């Protein structure tokens, strides 16, 4: 009996041992499969990294799209040659080919030879076929992050290329999502002892999860943006221009000048032309006479329209004299608005008081960020306290003194009026997309908000229409787009102790059932009617070619 029990125990132990051995070999087999097959591409890539160099063939960031999924980034394709420093130094045939076909200058190429880099990647200006090419020389296609045109550069922003993080614009706001993109690289295997390239191979790590956020879709329309930038460049404009879709509040174009090269940021860090500033949202300007629209709206809501005024060519406030553009004599408020008469609006400002005018400005979002989705946006400035008293009313009434606004805030004002007093939440962003451009998370927008009565807005539109029909905007030729309404502005700005006159024009078209608001700021433009209004006209006509309003 005892012998039987011992056999039973031994059998049980053998069964347990066999089961454990089976489990162990199963785990070992799974681990070997995991390492040698499943993880093989990753470990092979890591092994190559240890004895070679990784050269990116595609930006390590997702795509930024326009409203129609036209990409702004990752579209420029260039051919590059990859070879060792040693070959370029010792093979005259290869050096001559590189010198002839590279986008780099002779100085830049020869400078590369003096660096410690053992493997060199050089961009070529055209697609070439290299006869008798050594086996250790590779020609590859590389997709660049930005194009030569740098379209929408101030909105897109730029990245720190060394660490691959966004430093401004959309690149910064959505950095965590844009980094999450597929990876395409070329690995060069290099023998350091012999300074020889042993081989090269391409690796692609694709995103398989369709819900992974990798891109951003904007409200910008590529064709309108390109047209706006072309117009600014052809007319040598420094300043900004914005196009807003009236019904939605979506920004269809936003441009700042001068432009900059997103691949060479270091060059602009010491320049004084503020090229890296997004002047549409990041710089405050005195609005000048365009601020008379705010004073007009205050007068409308305070029921102060029927009065006649007299302009003697200037207005005295205590010991301060403010000149008008002309001697207008007896003049109505509507005529004063058409002709941008300073005397009329200073007299009106005295009746209203600075406090009421500034309260209206605050209702219209002056002195506050519009929050279109870019971190660089500033609030501008409105006077307060003692700056509303005494002679200050003269400057407040004509948009001078301590009032500073952004072109975006002026665009918001005109969009509110064109929407009959409804404030739309202006925005640049539609949402975050997957790798195919499909939105997986929409951008949160605030609901519409009524800030003006419908009747006040319609009356203001009558005045704005009359500026184009009879006043300072009468030289505009916009019959083909259904006419327009708007306001000119000429504002004196003091920068670095120097005085500069900036030109403004902001308005909408068509004048009935308006579809677009356009705001133009021309730095150093002197007269808004002569500098900014013609740019408004050209932009409106180009938009009408792309999307006819009739």
Say if residue 343 is in the same domain as residue 488: yes
Return the H-helix or E-strand segment holding 46.
helix 40-51
Residue pair 37/29 in contact (Cβ under 8 Å)? The answer is no
Residue 480 lies in a domain: yes
Say if residue 210 is in the same domain as residue 231: no
Rounded CA-CA distance 407/5 in Å is 95
Averaged pLDDT for residues 28-48 = 60
Residue 426 lies in a domain: yes
pTM: 0.86
- Whether 168 shows a pLDDT value over 60: the answer reads yes
Say if residue 468 is in the same domain as residue 494: yes
CATH of residue 141's domain is 3.90.1310.10
Report the percent of the chain where pLDDT is more than 90. 61
Residue 308 lies in a domain: yes
What is the rounded average pLDDT for all residues in the chain?
88
Residue 453, CA distances (Å) to 357, 385, 516 in order: 16, 28, 21
How sure is the predictor about 23, in pLDDT bands with cuts at 50, 70 and 90? confident
Say if residue 86 is in the same domain as residue 26: no
Averaged pLDDT for residues 449-466 = 97
Give the E-state strand segments of 219-296 in sequence order: 239-245, 251-257
Say if residue 135 is in the same domain as residue 232: no
Say if residue 121 is in the same domain as residue 255: no
Residue 96 lies in a domain: yes
Specify the pLDDT at position 270: 82
Say if residue 100 is in the same domain as residue 62: yes
- Position of tokens 């090229």? 275
How sure is the predictor about 106, in pLDDT bands with cuts at 50, 70 and 90? confident
Averaged pLDDT for residues 54-66 = 90
Report the percent of the chain where pLDDT is more than 70. 89
Rounded CA-CA distance 185/70 in Å is 24
DSSP state of 295: H
Rounded CA-CA distance 254/277 in Å is 13
Say if residue 170 is in the same domain as residue 240: no
Specify the pLDDT at position 103: 87
Residue 332 lies in a domain: yes
Of 39-53, 195-209, 500-514, 533-547, which gets the smallest average pLDDT?
A: 39-53
List, in order, residues 6 or more apart from 506 with CB less than 8 Å away. 290, 410, 411, 413, 414, 486, 487, 489, 517, 518, 519, 520, 536
- Whether 47 shows a pLDDT value over 60: the answer reads no
Residue 61 lies in a domain: yes
> What range does the domain containing 331 cover?
222-260+278-546
Specify the pLDDT at position 473: 95
Residue pair 490/526 in contact (Cβ under 8 Å)? The answer is yes
Specify the pLDDT at position 329: 93
**pLDDT tens digits along 113-147:** 777 777 888 899 877 777 777 778 888 888 999 99
Say if residue 210 is in the same domain as residue 243: no
Residue 385 lies in a domain: yes
How sure is the predictor about 360, in pLDDT bands with cuts at 50, 70 and 90? very high
Say if residue 227 is in the same domain as residue 342: yes
388: tokens are 């509303």
Residue 351 lies in a domain: yes
Say if residue 164 is in the same domain as residue 192: yes
Say if residue 337 is in the same domain as residue 477: yes
- Higher-pLDDT residue of 121 and 428 is 428
CATH of residue 392's domain is 3.40.710.10
**pLDDT tens digits along 186-236:** 777 766 655 666 666 677 777 767 788 999 999 999 999 999 999 999 999
Query: How many other CB atoms sit within 10 Å of the CB of residue 278?
Result: 25
**pLDDT tens digits along 298-356:** 999 999 988 899 999 999 988 888 999 899 999 999 999 999 999 999 999 999 999 99
Number of domains in the chain: 3
């Amino acid at each position: 009996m005892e012998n039987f029990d011992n056999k039973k125990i031994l059998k049980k132990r053998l069964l347990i041992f066999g089961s454990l051995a089976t489990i162990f070999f199963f785990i070992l087999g799974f681990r070997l499969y995991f390492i040698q097959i499943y993880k093989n591409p990753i470990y092979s890539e890591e092994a190559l990294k240890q004895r070679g160099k990784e050269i990116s063939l595609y930006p390590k960031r997702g795509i930024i799209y326009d409203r129609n999924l036209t990409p702004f980034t990752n579209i420029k394709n260039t051919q590059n040659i990859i070879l060792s420093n040693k070959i370029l130094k010792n093979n005259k045939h290869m050096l001559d080919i590189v010198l002839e076909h590279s986008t780099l200058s002779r100085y830049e190429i020869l400078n590369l030879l003096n660096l410690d880099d053992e493997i060199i990647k050089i961009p070529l200006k055209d697609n070439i076929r290299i006869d008798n090419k050594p086996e250790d020389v590779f020609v590859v296609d590389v997709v660049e992050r930005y194009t030569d045109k740098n379209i929408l550069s101030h909105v897109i922003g730029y990245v720190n290329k060394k660490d691959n993080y966004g430093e401004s614009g959309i690149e910064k706001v959505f950095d965590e999502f844009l980094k999450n993109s597929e990876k395409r690289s070329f690995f060069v295997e290099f023998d350091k002892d012999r300074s020889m390239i042993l081989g090269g191979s391409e690796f692609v790590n694709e995103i398989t999860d369709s819900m992974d956020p990798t891109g951003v879709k904007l409200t910008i329309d590529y064709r309108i943006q390109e047209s706006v930038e072309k117009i600014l460049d052809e007319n040598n404009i420094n300043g900004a221009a914005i196009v807003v879709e009236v019904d939605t509040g979506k920004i269809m174009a936003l441009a700042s000048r001068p432009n900059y090269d997103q691949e060479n940021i270091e060059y602009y860090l010491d320049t004084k032309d503020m090229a890296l500033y997004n002047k549409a949202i990041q710089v405050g300007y005195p609005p000048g006479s365009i601020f008379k629209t705010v004073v007009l709206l205050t007068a409308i809501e305070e029921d102060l329209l029927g009065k006649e005024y007299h302009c003697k060519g200037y207005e005295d406030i205590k010991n301060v004299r403010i000149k008008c553009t002309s001697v207008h004599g007896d003049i109505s408020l509507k005529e004063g608005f058409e002709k941008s008469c300073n005397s009329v609006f200073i007299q009106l400002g005295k009746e209203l008081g600075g406090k009421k005018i500034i309260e209206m400005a605050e209702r219209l979002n002056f002195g506050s960020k519009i929050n279109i989705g870019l971190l660089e946006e500033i609030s501008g400035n409105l006077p307060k306290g003692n700056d509303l008293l005494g002679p200050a009313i003269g400057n407040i009434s004509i948009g001078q003194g301590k009032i500073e606004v952004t072109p975006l805030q002026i665009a918001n004002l005109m969009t509110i009026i064109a929407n009959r007093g409804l404030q739309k939440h202006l925005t640049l962003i539609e949402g975050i997309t997957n790798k195919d451009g499909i939105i997986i998370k929409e951008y949160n927008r605030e609901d519409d908000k009524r800030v003006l009565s419908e009747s006040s807005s319609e009356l203001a539109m009558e005045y704005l229409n009359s500026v184009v029909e009879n006043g300072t905007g009468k030289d505009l030729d916009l019959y083909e787009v259904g006419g327009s309404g708007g306001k000119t502005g000429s504002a004196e700005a003091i920068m670095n102790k120097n005085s500069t006159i900036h030109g403004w024009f902001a308005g909408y078209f068509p004048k009935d059932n308006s579809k677009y608001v356009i705001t133009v700021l021309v730095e150093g433009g002197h007269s808004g009617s002569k500098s900014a209004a013609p740019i408004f006209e050209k932009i409106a006509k180009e938009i009408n070619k792309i999307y006819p309003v009739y």
